[in-house]
Amino acid sequence: MTDPSYEFFTAITRKPSKSVISGLRAEDRGKPDFSKMCIDHASYVAALRETGAKVLELPALQAFPDSVFVEDAALCLKDCAVLMRPGAPSRLGEVAEIAASIRENFDSVFEIKGPGFIEGGDILTTPREVLVGKSARTNASGVAELREIIAPLGYALREVQTPPEVLHFKTDCSLLDAETILSTRRLDASGCFEGYRVLHTAEGEEAAANTIRFNQLVLMPAGFPKTAALLRSNGYEVREIGNAECAKIDGGMSCLSLRF
Ligand code: CIR
């Protein structure tokens, strides 16, 4: 492995709780099937483990329907972590629930104290910068507080905009390697990826943009054959994971883990 942008030794995940059927969603696409979601979640964790990484599986939290989406509660960087402050009121308490696990794994842990908001799903870390999309969940004051924390540590933060009607910045993009981003056309059209090599999701397959490069694998949601073929033809080893149940509550591949 030669590219640290996708070399990971550890991931944190959290098992879905039965309350996940009440998870937040922008539109009604039916009730997620808890049992099916658990099966997909197990495949996801198995794929992470298959790469040789250690996966710390946290217990389900009945009180927090969206807590399976651990990515939103913390940002893990090379040498520190930052506890986030979700913009969704029902998700604020998830931060305290994940804090112990983050502190066990990082010597240096910061926290967004507010009053601003910021969720991990709006943050794409590349080797050259930390891109943060303002969204309904992440506001300018949250971004500014993150900048104050990480700029002195040498991280360049660039504020960008999550497209309107899109939940998180990373709903529409992901990092495939140090130079390459998979993006929807609508997000790339904003110009935010200038200087990167950009691959576009196939027409009608925008929901395939949220993938993760994790060691040798690209984990992507199943059911987007054109985008999967594009990635394979570009030399990536693609693993398709069922995401139909998480998709009903706007979740995807990146939200299900914290990676470091
Ligand atoms: C929410 O609306 O917060 C959850 N239902 C979905 C969160 C997905 N997280 C992510 O994209 N990072």
User: Which of 214, 206, 182, 208 minimizes the C-alpha distance to 13?
Assistant: 214
- pLDDT single digits (tens) 68-126: 999 999 999 999 999 999 999 999 999 999 999 999 999 999 999 999 999 999 999 99
pLDDT (0 to 100) of residue 221: 98
Q: Is 250 left (phi over 0), alpha (psi -120 to 50) or beta?
A: left
CB burial readout 96-107, b (16+ within 10 A) else e: ebbbebbeeebe
Name the DSSP letter for residue 113: -
- What pTM does this model have? 0.97
Number of H helices, E strands in the chain: 6, 15
Provide the residue-wise pLDDT of the chain in tens; the chain has 260 residues: 568 899 999 999 999 999 999 999 999 999 999 999 999 999 999 999 999 999 999 999 999 999 999 999 999 999 999 999 999 999 999 999 999 999 999 999 999 999 999 999 999 999 999 999 999 999 999 999 999 999 999 999 999 999 998 999 999 999 999 999 999 999 999 999 999 999 999 999 999 999 999 999 999 999 999 999 999 999 999 999 999 999 999 999 999 999 99
pLDDT (0 to 100) of residue 1: 53
- Taking the C-alpha atoms of residue 256 and residue 171, their distance in angstroms, rounded to an integer, is 12
CA distances (Å), origin 199, targets 17, 92, 113, 181, 185: 35, 34, 36, 6, 9
Distance (Å) from CA 207 to ligand 1 centroid:
13
Distance (Å) from CA 102 to ligand 1 centroid:
19
CB burial readout 72-83, b (16+ within 10 A) else e: bbbbbbeebbbb
Which residue CA neighbors atom 8 of ligand 1 most closely?
A: 251
Domains, the chain, with CATH or none: 10-19+26-259 (3.75.10.10)
- Which is catalytic among the residues 76, 168, 173, 246? 168
pLDDT (0 to 100) of residue 2: 66
Q: Which atom of ligand 1 lies closest to the CA of 24?
A: 5
pLDDT (0 to 100) of residue 4: 86
- Taking the C-alpha atoms of residue 237 and residue 233, their distance in angstroms, rounded to an integer, is 10
Task: Name all residues whose Cβ lies below 6 A of ligand 1.
Answer: 23-25, 66, 69, 71-72, 88, 91, 121, 167-168, 171, 249-252, 254-255
CB atoms within 10 A of CB 237: 12
